Amino acid sequence: MTSNEEMAEKLAEKFYGLIEGDVSVSGGELAKLFVTALDQAGLALSEKAKAYISFEPVLPNGKTLADMFASSDRKPLGTVIDDEDDEEEDDGPDDAGELDELEHMRDVADMAYAALSDLALHCHNRREDVAWGIASSAAKDAHVLATFVGDWIEDMEDED
């Protein structure tokens, strides 16, 4: 057995002993356990090598992404930013602009229903059973959507 194989075996034993039976180890914990296993095995990594096994990327200036975002106004993509100007909860459409948008959605769904029904009829006349099934199903879905949005509009109008 070569010295590299011996070191790998020693490291594997230490690492396995740290995580044995614990399947809930997260990525960050796993990286820490790996470094701990290296230390216990008498092996050491350079700081540059540790950056490669870290689950928190280190930037060229030595900062982590968390440090960079904590010290600036910039936020990562996908961060939910609390809107301080919004005074009331938006639990559904409640103004004229949203009512207009819903009416437009209903009209589009109605047009889709008409177009898909026409397509289904053409497919039926050509004896294209698979295409007819797809178009017919899509037409039914468009009709259900138009009905749903129409009911939503009626409910809004009743509330006013």
For residue range 20-41, what is the model confidence (pLDDT) as tens digits? 555 555 555 656 666 676 677 6
**Amino acid occupying residue 121:** L
Which pLDDT band, with edges at 50, 70 and 90, does 153 fall under?
Answer: confident
Confidence (pLDDT) at 98: 84
pLDDT at position 140 is: 92
Q: Where are the alpha helices (DSSP H) in the chain?
A: 3-19, 27-40, 47-53, 65-70, 96-125, 129-159
Do 34 and 53 meet the contact criterion of CB atoms below 8 Å apart? yes
pLDDT digits (tens, 9 = 90+) for 42-81: 666 666 665 555 555 566 677 766 676 666 666 665 566 6
Phi first, then psi, for residue 55 (nearest 5°) are -90, 0
Report the distance separating Cα 37 and Cα 50, nearest Å. Answer: 13
Query: How do residues 90-134 score in pLDDT, each as one tens digit?
Result: 555 456 778 888 888 889 888 989 999 988 998 888 888 888 899
Mean pLDDT across the chain: 72
Q: Is the pLDDT of residue 157 over 80?
A: yes
Query: Using 50, 70 and 90 to split pLDDT, how confident is the model at 147?
Result: very high
CB-CB neighbours of 57 under 10 Å: 11
Integer Cα distance of 97 and 89 in angstroms: 17
